């Protein structure tokens, strides 16, 4: 169910590293619907042009708005557990399209001075793409500076090792009949998610002009967990937005209710109330890809990421591979192509 849209989640992209795969719910589903009735919302329509609109025009616009709102109110909400299963199925099917894309990612971390100010700012830039069936992030800049030849060599060696380990993990899991993500980590299915938390207040809202189902989530503190990742899910609260037409996640917001540690904090350490928000966008009218991630609080996961303050990850320059191993011009906004030349595909050293 959880498929990484990038190799890391915070500092590299705030997505991944087991517990932070939760943030990459980028693939799906949450849990059960509460018994409360859902509410429905419609985006407000524009009333008139710049300046005061004629009374007749304002009245007509209001009537259209009221009609649209009434229509949305009358349309029943989908069954949420069933919706999440559809999201899961759609995500698996769309992964083949995701593998055709690469994009640029910039992570900016601001370290707090403990008094509300910023003590230090760091940036890292990555090229994100798929290699041998594994999604990877290749570091290309640190604080605006290109990597040295030696740093590039080490980065390529790191990627080669990571891909080899991912393929090995996948092979072992497949031999046992287990389903994993591209890195060979066990996926938590929608069915399992239904047992770890509950959803309330389902409602229909407009996001960028599209009908979207929003649902609030709260983990069940009494739920029995099987591993550390499930403990994180159990301790989360937040909201998920699912594009109703595409059955794809467009946004996630969440907060860790309790501090979380693995290996006495040496492997993973997340402070209580650390929060995050992740957004996706529809690119080239065919696939949803990461657009932005924001985090605030304090978190660390070995060498993958570390921040105490805030972090923002912005994805851009979406490009698509052709069968000829070339790349279409970068797309800075959904369904919009810029530039007129193709470039060679990145070749990890």
The number of residues making up the chain comes to: 349
Give the whole-angstrom CA distance, residue 97 versus residue 287. 7
| Tokens 């605030």, residue located | 296
What pLDDT score was predicted for residue 74? 67
- Closest by CA to 280, choosing from 306, 233, 247, is 247
**Residue 70 and residue 62: Cα distance in Å, rounded?**
12
Look at residue 9 and tell me whether its pLDDT is greater than 90: no
Residues with Cβ within 8 Å of 313's Cβ and at least 6 positions away in sequence, in order, are 6, 10, 12, 13, 14, 105, 106, 107, 108, 290, 292, 293, 294
Tens-place pLDDT, residues 268-282: 677 888 888 999 999
| The pLDDT of residue 222 is above 60 | yes
Residue scoring higher pLDDT (266 or 97) = 97
- Classify residue 68 as exposed, middle or buried by CB count within 10 Å of its CB (0-12, 13-18, 19+): middle
Q: Both tokens of residue 59?
A: 């009245």
Check: pTM over 0.75? Answer yes or no.
no
Q: Is the pLDDT of residue 294 over 60?
A: yes
């Amino acid at each position: 169910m959880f498929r990484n849209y990038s190799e890391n989640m915070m500092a590299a992209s705030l997505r991944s590293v087991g517990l932070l795969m939760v943030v990459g719910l980028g693939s799906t589903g949450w849990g059960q619907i509460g018994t409360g009735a859902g509410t429905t919302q419609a985006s407000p329509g524009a009333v008139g042009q710049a300046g005061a609109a004629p009374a007749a025009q304002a009245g007509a616009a209001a009537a259209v708005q009221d009609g649209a709102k009434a229509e949305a109110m009358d349309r029943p909400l989908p069954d949420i557990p069933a919706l999440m299963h559809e999201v899961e199925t759609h995500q698996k099917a769309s992964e083949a399209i995701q593998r055709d894309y690469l994009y640029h990612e910039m992570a900016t971390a601001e370290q707090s001075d403990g008094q509300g100010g910023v003590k230090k700012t760091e940036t890292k830039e990555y090229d994100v793409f798929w290699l041998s069936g594994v999604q990877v992030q290749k570091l290309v800049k640190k604080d605006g500076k290109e990597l040295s030849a030696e740093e590039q060599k080490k980065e390529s060696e790191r990627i080669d090792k990571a891909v080899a380990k991912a393929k090995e993990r996948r092979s072992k899991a497949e031999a046992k009949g287990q389903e994993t993500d591209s890195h060979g980590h066990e996926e938590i299915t929608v069915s399992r998610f239904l047992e770890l938390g509950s959803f309330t207040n389902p409602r229909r809202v407009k996001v960028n002009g599209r009908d979207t189902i929003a649902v609030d989530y709260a983990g069940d503190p009494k739920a029995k967990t099987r591993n550390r990742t499930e403990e994180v899910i159990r301790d989360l609260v937040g909201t998920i937005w699912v594009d109703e037409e595409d059955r794809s996640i467009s946004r996630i917001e969440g907060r860790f209710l309790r501090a979380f540690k693995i290996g006495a904090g040496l492997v993973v350490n997340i402070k209580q109330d650390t929060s995050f928000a992740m957004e996706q966008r529809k690119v080239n009218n065919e696939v949803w890809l990461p657009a932005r991630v924001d985090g605030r609080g304090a978190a660390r996961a070995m060498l993958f990421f570390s921040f105490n303050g805030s972090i923002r990850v912005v994805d851009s320059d979406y490009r698509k591979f052709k069968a000829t191993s070339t790349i279409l011009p970068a797309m800075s906004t959904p369904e919009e192509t810029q530039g007129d030349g193709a470039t060679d595909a990145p070749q990890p050293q």
